[in-house]
């Protein structure tokens, strides 16, 4: 499955991050490892481009994803992994929270082998200031993974009758600059955006981590995607 080209902010329409019609037609449980050619700004499914300062965004690649969550700035070298679980698969669940905890558990299992510190998975409801939900990584959601209380892995999901699409990311570098792209960033948002990155976790073998993640919770059909503009 290829990725469609990213659009620019000057367009009245924003290209979707995936060809979701292709995703929902997949009959096999699939793990996607996505590589980026350049920084890409991704809107949540219900967000308008009006929240963004056009002058500051400039020519930054812009996409829209389906599912929950807010704005996120994805960058080359981020560990971006998604899973498609068809409704007929034993790992499918009608419970939104249980599905997030499933993916969070996979990340938790792998990270405990690669990092020092207390690795935990948020098992409760969504937490954090409502105004801060304009961006990802500013709160706590079910299944999201933390190291010593600081967020490491963010999660979101999209559910349709054919299955569940779960998306996750461990950033390779800080994404706090996304706050400066907002027209009206809420107070305290930058402080809430403090999160771990691969370097702060001292992950020196990200490909090895991905290899272990492939073996966790499987079996999977694996697809490598390269997103360029």
This prediction has a pTM of: 0.92
Q: Quote the pLDDT of residue 119.
A: 98
Cα separation of 190 and 138, whole Å?
A: 8
Q: What CATH number should be reported for the domain holding residue 194?
A: 3.30.930.10
Strand pairing report for 119-121 and 40-43: unpaired
Tokens representing 25? 């037609």
Residues 6+ apart with CB under 8 A from 11: none
DSSP character at residue 56: H
H-helix segments, the chain: 20-24, 54-57, 96-114, 189-192, 206-215
Tokens 């409760």 label which residue?
Answer: 124
- Whether 188 is covered by a domain: the verdict is yes
Q: Quote the pLDDT of residue 228.
A: 72
Tokens 């490598």 label which residue?
Answer: 224
C-beta neighbour count of 8 within 10 angstroms: 14
- Whether 8 is covered by a domain: the verdict is no
Q: Quote the pLDDT of residue 98.
A: 97
Q: Quote the pLDDT of residue 143.
A: 97
- Whether 1 is covered by a domain: the verdict is no
DSSP character at residue 82: E
- Whether 104 is covered by a domain: the verdict is yes
Tokens representing 60? 């930054």
Q: Quote the pLDDT of residue 11.
A: 40
- Whether 44 is covered by a domain: the verdict is yes
- Whether 115 is covered by a domain: the verdict is yes
- The tens-digit pLDDT sequence of the chain (229 residues) is 444 333 344 344 789 999 999 999 999 999 999 999 999 999 999 899 999 999 999 989 999 999 878 999 999 999 999 999 999 999 999 999 999 999 999 999 999 999 999 999 999 999 989 999 999 999 999 999 999 999 999 999 999 999 999 999 999 999 999 999 999 999 999 999 999 999 999 999 999 999 999 999 889 999 999 987 5
- Whether 76 is covered by a domain: the verdict is yes
The domain total for the chain is 1
Q: Quote the pLDDT of residue 229.
A: 59
- Whether 69 is covered by a domain: the verdict is yes
| Distance set, CA 178 to CA 77, 78, 120, 142, 185 (Å) | 17, 15, 26, 23, 10
**In the sheet where 163-170 sits, what is the strand order?**
119-121, 145-147, 150-160, 163-170, 79-86, 30-36, 221-227
Domain span at residue 40? 20-227
């Amino acid at each position: 499955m290829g990725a469609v080209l990213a659009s620019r902010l000057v367009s009245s329409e924003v290209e979707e991050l995936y060809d979701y019609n292709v995703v929902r037609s997949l009959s096999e449980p699939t793990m996607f490892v996505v590589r980026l050619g350049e920084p890409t700004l991704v809107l949540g499914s219900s967000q308008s481009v009006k929240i963004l300062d056009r002058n500051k965004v400039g020519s930054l690649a812009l996409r829209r994803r389906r599912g929950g969550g807010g704005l996120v700035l994805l960058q080359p070298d981020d560990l971006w992994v998604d899973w498609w679980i068809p409704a007929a698969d034993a790992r499918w669940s009608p419970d939104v929270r249980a599905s997030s905890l499933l993916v969070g558990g996979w990340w938790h299992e792998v990270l405990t082998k690669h990092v020092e510190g207390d690795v935990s998975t948020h098992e409760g409801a969504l937490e954090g200031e409502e105004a801060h939900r304009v961006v990802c990584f500013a709160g706590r959601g079910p299944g999201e993974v933390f190291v010593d209380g600081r967020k490491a892995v963010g999660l979101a999901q999209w559910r349709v009758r054919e299955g569940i699409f779960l998306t996750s990311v461990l950033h390779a570098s800080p994404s706090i600059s996304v706050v400066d792209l907002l027209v009206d960033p809420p107070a305290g948002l930058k402080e809430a955006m403090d999160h771990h990155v691969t370097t702060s976790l001292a992950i020196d073998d990200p490909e090895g981590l991905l290899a272990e993640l492939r073996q966790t919770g499987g079996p999977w059909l694996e697809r490598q995607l390269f997103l360029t503009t």
